Amino acid sequence: MLLTVINPNTTESMTASIGKAAAAVAAPGTTIRAVTPAMGPASIESHYDEALAVPGLLAEIAAGERAGSAGYVIACFGDPGLEAARELAHGPVVGIAEAAMRTASYLGRGFSVVTTLGRTAGRAHDLAEHYGAARFCRGIHACEIPVLELETDPAARERITEECRRAIAQDGSDAVVLGCAGMADLCAHIAGAIGVPVVDGVAAATKAVESLVSLGLRTGDRGEFARPPAKTYTGILADFQIH
């Protein structure tokens, strides 16, 4: 089984870390293809970033289709372009926020999300509502570390760990959801330090896609998620024309 894991930003080192996190939980016989778009922002920390990340992400969905990918993970906690990707892909597409929130809801009465910047909390709230997870989500907390500094700030791991500890104490939650794909490699450390389940969306989404493929399931293609109608796209979007 070939699964494509897409890091919607253009930072190659983060793609490598995300790929390792996915490969660590993949079943024998599953090959993880971690990819970085050729265009887009270096990190995704705003609605503007999310919007401009989508064309590059969709180009990687198209490339994955040509490569024979059985399914896809969108490895950004904003789940950018998820619905559009489901229109294009033959196999299932799962975003890491959706997978992480659904997984955490199995683990107790409620979970807390710990993310990067406070400005992204509104998007996380919206996604919890959209996925029907709002009644489980007891709080969203920011450690105020920019995405790219997750890799470069030597204090980042302990700052995030302490924010997770505070979130659990403040919210009375049973689990923590890590609100950034760039935190994937911190999951085991944080869980060991704070003593509650910690959910990394990259791992959760990888297992979700594997399960769907194994069950022979994919996104329904009637109505809303049918292939987009053929039409002309112009300018820098000319290559995205549907035939």
120-168 pLDDT tens trace: 999 999 999 999 999 999 999 999 999 999 999 999 999 999 999 999 9
pLDDT band of residue 25 (cuts 50, 70, 90) is very high
The pLDDT assigned to 243 comes to 82
Q: Given this chain, do its domains 2-95+203-240 and 97-201 carry the same CATH topology?
A: yes
Q: Which residue has the tokens 């992204």?
A: 120
Res. 31: pLDDT tops 90? yes
The pLDDT assigned to 220 comes to 94
The pLDDT assigned to 149 comes to 97
> Can you tell me the distance from the alpha carbon of 103 to that of 199, in angstroms, rounded to the nearest whole number?
7
pLDDT digits (tens, 9 = 90+) for 70-84: 999 999 999 999 999
The pair phi, psi for residue 81, each rounded to 5°, is 70, 15
Q: Provide the residue count of the chain.
A: 243
* Residue spans per domain, the chain: 2-95+203-240, 97-201
Res. 34: pLDDT tops 90? yes
- Would you state the torsion angle of the CA atoms of residues 45, 46, 48, 51, taken in this order, to the nearest 10 degrees? 70
The pLDDT assigned to 115 comes to 98
Check if the beta carbon of residue 163 is closer than 8 Å to that of residue 172. no
How does DSSP assign 166-193, residue by residue? Answer: HHHHHHT-SEEEE--GGGGGGHHHHHHH
What CATH number labels 97-201? 3.40.50.12500
Q: What is the CA radius of gyration of the chain?
A: 17
The pLDDT assigned to 197 comes to 98
Q: What is the mean pLDDT of residues 221-240?
A: 93
The pair phi, psi for residue 45, each rounded to 5°, is -140, 20
pTM recorded for the entire structure: 0.97
The CATH architecture annotation of domain 2-95+203-240 reads 3-Layer(aba) Sandwich (3.40)
Instruction: Centre a 10 Å sphere on the Cβ of residue 145 and count the other Cβ atoms it contains.
Output: 21
